[in-house]
Amino acid sequence: MDITTSTIQLNTPDGKMEAYEARPKDGGARPAIIVFMEAFGVNSHIKDVTERVAREGYVAIAPDLYHREPERIVPYKELQKAIGIMNRLQDPKVMEDAGAVIAHLKSQNYVKAGAIGVTGFCMGGRCTYLAAAHHNKDIKAAVGFYGGGIPMGKPSPLSRSGEINCPIQLFFGEKDPLIPQDHVAQIRQALTDDKKNFAIKVYPGAGHGFFCNERESYHADSAKDAWDKFKSFFGRHLK
């Protein structure tokens, strides 16, 4: 599917935020998916994923959650620097940013009304879980890839599981050194206790970042299966 891409400016309470938007060229109202970035910023990988989502028939948009920072993209080899910037993010501010993206999408005639989903990777997987709870009137489906720290923070995204109204699908790697399997078990238990519509898939042999073909941790079989499940899930719940 032919797509068009652009970098747009959105208004937030802390000033302008860039967002990378990709959408089908053929016109008509399409469902939308917000793509939350990794700790490394809206880099070439996140832009590529955004374009891949658009080719599946969605308006896809990746907000730059580091718009308050002087350095907004960090190379994959500089993990500690990325973690340092990520740790300065504040959940309420990130949810304001998400709200700005949602407001933008709802105001566009090329976005299908009532059909906004959210996905994210690494740090963005945690943002996905939080957005599903915080923006539960607008988010209709959520898919998180190796979201770390979901049980962490005050309040933690996990503590808000009861607020999630949409179907949610979560992917983790069995050998992820950043996300203990105990965290995965806590998430599964919370969503079960709150009777949520959810699915969790833990990929044997996969580590953190298994979906990213620009990282050494790329795990092709797991990435392909997760992408197939991603397309099927959003196809059911947004299209």
Stretch 23-28: mean pLDDT: 92
CA distance 118 to 107: 17
pLDDT above 70 coverage of the chain, percent: 100
Name the active-site residue from 45, 122, 135, 219. 122
Which pLDDT band holds residue 13 (cuts at 50, 70, 90)?
Answer: very high
Residues 6+ apart with CB under 8 A from 65: 36, 37, 89, 94, 97, 127
Which strands sit side by side in the sheet containing 30-36, from one edge to the other?
3-12, 15-24, 59-63, 30-36, 111-121, 139-145, 168-173, 198-203
Stretch 70-97: mean pLDDT: 97
Backbone angles phi, psi at 139, to 5 degrees: -85, 120
Name the active-site residue from 45, 208, 219, 237. 208
Q: For the segment 161-216, what is each residue's pLDDT rounded down to a tens digit? A: 999 999 999 999 999 999 999 999 999 999 999 999 999 999 999 999 999 999 99
Q: Can you give the pLDDT at residue 92?
A: 98
Tokens of 81: 């620097």
Distance of CA 68 to the CA centre of its chain: 19
Q: Can you give the pLDDT at residue 57?
A: 98
Quick check: 27 pLDDT over 90? no
CA distance 175 to 180: 9
Q: Can you give the pLDDT at residue 201?
A: 98
Do 37 and 46 touch, CB atoms closer than 8 A? yes
Quick check: is 122 catalytic? yes
The Cα-based distances of 40 to 48, 94, 142 in angstroms read 14, 15, 21
Q: For the segment 117-156, what is each residue's pLDDT rounded down to a tens digit? A: 999 999 999 999 999 999 999 999 999 999 999 999 999 9
Decide which of 23 and 28 is more confident: 23
Name the active-site residue from 64, 97, 138, 176. 176
Give me the domains of the chain, ranges plus CATH numbers: 3-238 (3.40.50.1820)
Do 22 and 50 touch, CB atoms closer than 8 A? yes
Quick check: is 208 catalytic? yes
Which pLDDT band holds residue 91 (cuts at 50, 70, 90)?
Answer: very high
Which pLDDT band holds residue 2 (cuts at 50, 70, 90)?
Answer: very high
Average pLDDT score, the chain: 98
